[in-house]
Structures are given as C-alpha cells and as structure tokens.
Amino acid sequence: MKIVVFEDHLVGQLSPITIGRPAYAISCGSYRLVDWIDELQLPWSGLVRPHLRTLQEQDYGVTHLLQPTDQPILMLNARMVPSQETLKWLCALKQQQEPMT
C-alpha cells in the first residue's frame, strides 16, 4: 500500500498555522499526522501547496511527484486529526492491505 497525503481547498481554514508548513505537520496535542504516517513504514508522497514543495522534500524527505504503482493507494486528507483513533485506523488499514470500496 502507498499513502498519498493531500491538502484540499479547505486547508486555508487552518491559517495562520498552515502558512509555512503542510497541514499534516500541525501539532494537535503532542501528535502530528506526519508522525503517524511515518510510523506505518509505508511509502508515501504529499500533495501540498506549491510554496511548500521544497520544504516538504527537505524537512520530510517526501516527494510531490506520484510514481505509478500496482499497489493500492490510500488517499489521506492532510487536515485529518492526528489522534490515537486515527493511528488505530491507519494500522488496521495497513494490516488489511486491500483497497476499500
């Protein structure tokens, strides 16, 4: 499974905290979605606003480009709340390794 984390048109509602960082890097309590994604140890890429692409590559080692794959792709909205429940859900999806319909 490959993960694609994307920012949608509503990411501006999280301003000003998202001006200089991707939405997946926002702390909520002591959690960040990017930390949960890294914990899964799956390949991932991020679709962020143009001014954050270089930062994403340098700070997180994540590319903006999508590579063709035969694996299922899990699309995650970068505004998803990084809670314990989110981590449990992501781990369950990783174990399932099947596309959702």
pLDDT on residue 98: 57
Q: Using pLDDT thresholds of 50, 70 and 90, give the confidence band for residue 49.
A: very high
Residue 83 has pLDDT above 60, yes or no: yes
Q: Match 């997180």 to its residue by tokens.
A: 60
Q: Domains in the chain: how many in total?
A: 1
Q: Is residue 55 part of a domain?
A: yes
Distance in angstroms (rounded) separating the CA atoms of residues 11 and 56: 16
CATH code at 37?
A: 3.90.550.10
Q: Across the chain, what does the average pLDDT equal?
A: 87
Q: Is residue 56 part of a domain?
A: yes
Q: Is residue 101 part of a domain?
A: no
Q: Using pLDDT thresholds of 50, 70 and 90, give the confidence band for residue 77.
A: very high
Q: Are 66 and 6 within 8 A, CB to CB?
A: no
Phi/psi region, residue 22 (left: phi>0; alpha: psi -120 to 50; beta: rest), is beta
